[in-house]
Amino acid sequence: MQVKQGEVYRHFKGKFYYIVAIAQDCETLERVIVYQHLDDTKGIWTRKETSFFEEIPKRDDNVTGQKHRFERIDNLEEYHLGK
């Protein structure tokens, strides 16, 4: 999977995030995703791309039933329905 700036992703716990940028760690050269919660402009977060897409085992707090930690939302109507 390839993340692009400006896309929207849903976290497996149900919240939605906007991709602010794609960065590169200065020491490891790993790709890092810079993202922000759509309803909270106060915090900007980073996560290694490998962790961003890691598979989520079956667990009670996976309210979306997603296979991966973050999954892209192609239809923003899905975001508005989730609010």
Share the mean pLDDT of the chain. Answer: 88
Listed residue (67, 11, 79, 23) closest to 49, CA to CA: 23
- In a 13 Å sphere around the CA of 72, the CA atoms on its Cβ side amount to 9
pLDDT means over runs of 10, the chain (83 residues)? 91 93 96 91 89 92 93 74 52
* Alpha-carbon distances of 80 from 8, 15, 51, 73, rounded to whole Å: 12, 11, 26, 11
Predicted pLDDT of residue 82: 52
> pTM score, two decimals?
0.83
Predicted pLDDT of residue 77: 64
Residue ranges and CATH numbers for the domains of the chain are 8-78 (2.30.30.320)
Tally Cβ neighbours within 10 Å of residue 68: 15
Predicted pLDDT of residue 2: 86
